């Protein structure tokens, strides 16, 4: 519900919360949602408790939100479209908590909510893991596996739930799973090993090793590729524009062909960080060509075997048999789960299949440098530096950051059917690894686990002293409802093609960039906010009259924001955008037509989607891969094409045919 100050909506809001139903542990509460309804439930909980439950999405995709006793949203859950939508929190206040259930994007249908646990949070680290893994521990759900290293030694490893539902195979700490993008650090090590052998250099132009790649007039180095600063398109965001699916195969010659057809770089090499799977897929090809070995052979011989990672390999093609590996799952429309496969063609960017036990051996290589040597480890963990002198938070296939007073090497991974977290604290020789084949698994539990196992080494999170409350309020006052209302609106990223919309619901500010998930943002003053679950923040600027027209987005650098007025267009105005549009890079066509008063984009493989006008000739779309569409006019003022962009692929030109 968008925040307004109309009496009618305030009355409806009050009535909605007044009729909230109390949740009792173990009971089931069925509900039926219509597009504009929100159901509300409450329960009592306490500081130091653990709360877990789920909304079983029978015929509707739901969004679950949790509000604390002060009415502030503390969590939001929206992962699979069907089956269980689990929610879990660790309360930090005593009082009545509120859960709201609303349909995703105006859907309608039935669900059942159940509160499974509302109990004291375990203080023993191993028991805490068992407690928080409850949603993934039964014999009818895809499971998870975890391992923990402390002070250089493996102290805990365990599997939960099932590896294969069809055959009733349980998950163990020796079950293999795709670790998705956590694979990138292995690819980086492969390049560094070849540099150690004198067969290549990080300063090499990639065209030295793949000469058929397009020459853009400026070298793109292997170092650019390793720290995501090339300017290449993100192929996994680009190909879906042509109807490509993540289960489709893609040969390496096809990947190279795509880059050969790229019209221009998205940025000058080294000038901008833009996470990119394309480059790591190409790096695997560099390794194969320079070493003269296949990818699997090189990785096993030079990395896995020397470290004793006997149950680790790489997947390079669909249908490849990997013994003792887990089946991946997605939520099924009819409820329950269906088996799915990961994207095998992305090896280099992904593709490593490993176990919780084996990953601890890799973890400790950051200490021992058995593979690569100390110099390679130093390079692997050195953060990238842009041409303007700014330092990124990404090294070579690995994130490097500070957390609670400790350096942290970290990477997440996510594919069609697996989710993985890797984190290592080099100064205390300790780390975590966990992976799951369950589509509902949240990687955010790493902070709870790190606190439980390594808390004595971590700095305390900043807490406001009671005696300083008045001073803190004067320095960092929270925004008033009127200020939140002034902030709300749509902003464009100056110098980029993305938009971000800020909305207010029940006193909480939310942000949603073009075709991206929505995130709650928490105030740190009346004009500054941090994103919940994302390393980003934003600063807004108030004008003298109290309005907000601009701001700055902080995420790996500072990007100015400019507020725009979203303008609705009449059907007559939309008519000039109707026509067929062709992209030569993908050799694909979109047909734009007006349907029921909306401008709709139609494609022979993709589902139709609507375009929403923003300002001038700029639109956003409901399709994540075509999130921003900017039309262009010729000197005569006629539409001659549009640029399509998403979060990682920008300015894809579609020429108007008729």
Mean local confidence (pLDDT), 580-590: 96
Closest CA to 268 of 219, 199, 202: 219
319 within a domain of the structure (yes/no)? yes
* pLDDT value of residue 330: 84
- 511 with 612, same domain: the answer is no
Q: Which one of 516, 549, 564 terminates a domain?
A: 564
Structure tokens at 345: 């063609």
Closest CA to 84 of 127, 125, 122, 55: 55
Q: For 597-655, what is each residue's pLDDT tens digit?
A: 999 999 999 999 999 898 889 998 878 899 899 999 999 999 999 999 988 898 999 99
169 within a domain of the structure (yes/no)? no
Instruction: Please state, as a whole number, how many other Cβ atoms lie within 10 Å of the Cβ of residue 72.
Output: 16
Q: For 348-358, what is each residue's pLDDT tens digit?
A: 999 999 999 99
Cα gap 183→348, rounded to integer Å: 7
472 within a domain of the structure (yes/no)? no
- Examine the pLDDT at 6 and tell me if it is beyond 50: no
% of the chain with per-residue pLDDT over 90: 68
Whole-structure pTM value:
0.84
Find out whether 464 and 472 touch, Cβ atoms under 8 Å.
yes
Q: Which one of 513, 536, 564 terminates a domain?
A: 564
- Examine the pLDDT at 205 and tell me if it is beyond 90: yes
Check which CATH number belongs to the domain holding 110 and give it. Answer: 2.60.120.380
Give the structural domain span for 485.
481-564
Cα gap 130→127, rounded to integer Å: 5
Cα gap 53→543, rounded to integer Å: 44
Q: What are the C-alpha distances in Å from 552 to residues 419, 527, 541?
A: 32, 11, 9
Q: For 242-278, what is each residue's pLDDT tens digit?
A: 998 877 778 888 889 988 999 899 999 999 999 999 9
Mean local confidence (pLDDT), 206-229: 96
- 526 with 630, same domain: the answer is no
Q: What is the mean pLDDT of the chain?
A: 89
- 504 with 576, same domain: the answer is no
170 within a domain of the structure (yes/no)? no
Torsion sign across C-alpha atoms 484, 486, 491, 493: negative
Q: Which one of 543, 564, 585 terminates a domain?
A: 564
State the pLDDT confidence band at 555, using cuts at 50, 70 and 90: confident
62 within a domain of the structure (yes/no)? yes
385 within a domain of the structure (yes/no)? yes
165 within a domain of the structure (yes/no)? no
- 557 with 598, same domain: the answer is no
- Examine the pLDDT at 93 and tell me if it is beyond 90: yes
- 327 with 368, same domain: the answer is yes
Number of structural domains the chain divides into: 4
* pLDDT value of residue 115: 96
Strand partners, 56: 84, 112
Check which CATH number belongs to the domain holding 551 and give it. Answer: 2.40.128.50
Poorest-pLDDT segment among 101-115, 206-220, 407-421, 526-540: 526-540
- 498 with 443, same domain: the answer is no
- Examine the pLDDT at 469 and tell me if it is beyond 90: no
State the pLDDT confidence band at 556, using cuts at 50, 70 and 90: low
- 66 with 207, same domain: the answer is no
- 414 with 524, same domain: the answer is no
- 488 with 436, same domain: the answer is no
Q: How many Cα neighbours within 13 Å face the side chain of 655?
A: 6
- Examine the pLDDT at 476 and tell me if it is beyond 60: no
433 within a domain of the structure (yes/no)? yes
Q: For 43-68, what is each residue's pLDDT tens digit?
A: 999 999 999 999 989 889 898 999 99
Residues in the chain: 658
- 382 with 425, same domain: the answer is yes
* pLDDT value of residue 536: 82
Helix axes 277-291, 184-196, angle to 10 degrees: 40
Helix/strand/coil for 557: coil
- 422 with 487, same domain: the answer is no
Find out whether 136 and 423 touch, Cβ atoms under 8 Å.
no
Q: What are the C-alpha distances in Å from 231 to residues 283, 642, 651?
A: 15, 20, 12
Closest CA to 20 of 71, 85, 57: 71
Helix/strand/coil for 535: coil
- 542 with 576, same domain: the answer is no
Find out whether 330 and 416 touch, Cβ atoms under 8 Å.
yes
Cα gap 555→536, rounded to integer Å: 5
């Amino acid at each position: 519900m968008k925040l307004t100050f109309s009496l009618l909506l305030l009355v409806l809001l009050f009535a909605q919360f007044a009729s909230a139903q109390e949740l009792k542990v173990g009971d089931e509460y069925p509900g039926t949602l219509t597009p504009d309804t929100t159901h509300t439930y409450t329960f009592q909980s306490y500081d130091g408790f653990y709360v877990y439950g789920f909304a079983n999405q029978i015929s509707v995709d739901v969004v679950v939100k949790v509000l604390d006793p002060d009415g502030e949203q503390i969590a939001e859950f929206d992962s699979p479209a069907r089956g269980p939508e689990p929610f879990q929190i660790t309360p930090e206040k005593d009082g009545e908590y509120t859960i709201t259930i609303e349909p995703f994007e105006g859907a309608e249908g039935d669900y059942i909510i159940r509160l499974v646990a509302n109990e004291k949070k375990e203080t023993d680290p191993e028991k805490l893991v068992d407690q928080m893994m409850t949603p993934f521990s039964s014999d009818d759900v895809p499971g998870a596996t975890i391992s923990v290293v402390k002070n250089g030694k493996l102290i805990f490893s365990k599997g939960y739930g099932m590896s294969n539902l069809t055959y009733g195979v349980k998950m163990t700490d020796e079950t293999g799973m795709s670790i998705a993008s956590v694979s990138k650090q292995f690819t980086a090590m492969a390049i560094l090993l070849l540099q150690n052998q004198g067969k290549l250099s990080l300063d090499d132009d990639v065209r030295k090793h793949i000469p058929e790649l397009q020459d853009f007039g400026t070298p793109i180095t292997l170092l650019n590729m390793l720290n995501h600063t090339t300017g290449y398109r993100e192929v996994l965001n680009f190909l879906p524009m042509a109807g490509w699916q993540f289960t489709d195969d893609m040969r390496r010659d096809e990947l190279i062909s795509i880059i050969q057809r790229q019209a221009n770089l998205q940025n000058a090499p080294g000038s901008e960080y833009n996470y990119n799977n394309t480059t790591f897929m190409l790096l695997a090809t560099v390794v194969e060509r320079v070493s003269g070995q296949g990818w699997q052979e090189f990785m096993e011989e030079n990395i896995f075997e020397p470290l004793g990672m006997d149950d680790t390999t790489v997947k390079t093609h669909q249908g490849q048999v990997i013994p003792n590996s887990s089946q991946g799952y997605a939520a099924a429309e009819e409820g329950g789960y269906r088996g799915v496969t990961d994207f095998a063609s992305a090896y280099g960017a992904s593709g490593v299949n490993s176990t919780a036990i084996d990953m601890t051996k890799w973890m400790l290589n950051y200490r021992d440098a058995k593979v690569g040597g100390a110099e390679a480890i130093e390079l692997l963990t050195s953060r990238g530096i842009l041409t303007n002198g700014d330092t990124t938070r990404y090294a070579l296939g690995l994130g490097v950051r500070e957390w609670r007073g400790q350096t942290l090497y970290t990477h997440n991974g996510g594919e069609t059917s697996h989710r993985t977290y890797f984190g290592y604290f080099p100064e205390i020789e300790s780390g975590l690894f966990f992976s799951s084949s369950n589509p509902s698994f949240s990687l955010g539990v790493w902070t709870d686990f790190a606190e439980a196992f390594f808390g004595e080494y971590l700095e305390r999170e900043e807490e406001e002293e009671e005696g300083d409350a008045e001073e803190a309020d004067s320095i960092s006052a929270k925004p008033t409802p009127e200020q939140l209302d002034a902030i709300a609106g749509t902003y464009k990223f100056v110098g980029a093609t993305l938009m971000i919309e800020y909305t207010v619901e029940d006193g909480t500010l939310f942000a949603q960039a073009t075709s991206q998930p929505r995130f709650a943002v928490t105030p740190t003053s009346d004009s500054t906010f941090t994103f919940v679950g994302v390393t980003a923040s934003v600063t807004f600027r108030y004008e003298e009259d109290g309005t907000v027209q601009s701001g700055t987005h902080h995420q790996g650098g500072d990007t100015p924001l400019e507020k725009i007025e979203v303008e609705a267009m009449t059907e007559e105005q939309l008519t000039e955008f109707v026509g067929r549009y062709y992209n030569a890079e993908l050799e694909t066509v979109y047909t734009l037509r007006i349907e029921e008063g909306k401008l709709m984009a139609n494609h022979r493989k993709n589902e139709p989607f609507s375009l929403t006008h923003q300002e001038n000739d700029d639109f956003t779309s409901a399709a994540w891969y075509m999130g921003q569409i900017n039309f262009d006019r010729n000197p005569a003022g006629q539409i001659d094409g549009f640029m399509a962009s998403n979060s990682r692929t920008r300015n894809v030109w579609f020429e108007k045919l008729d």
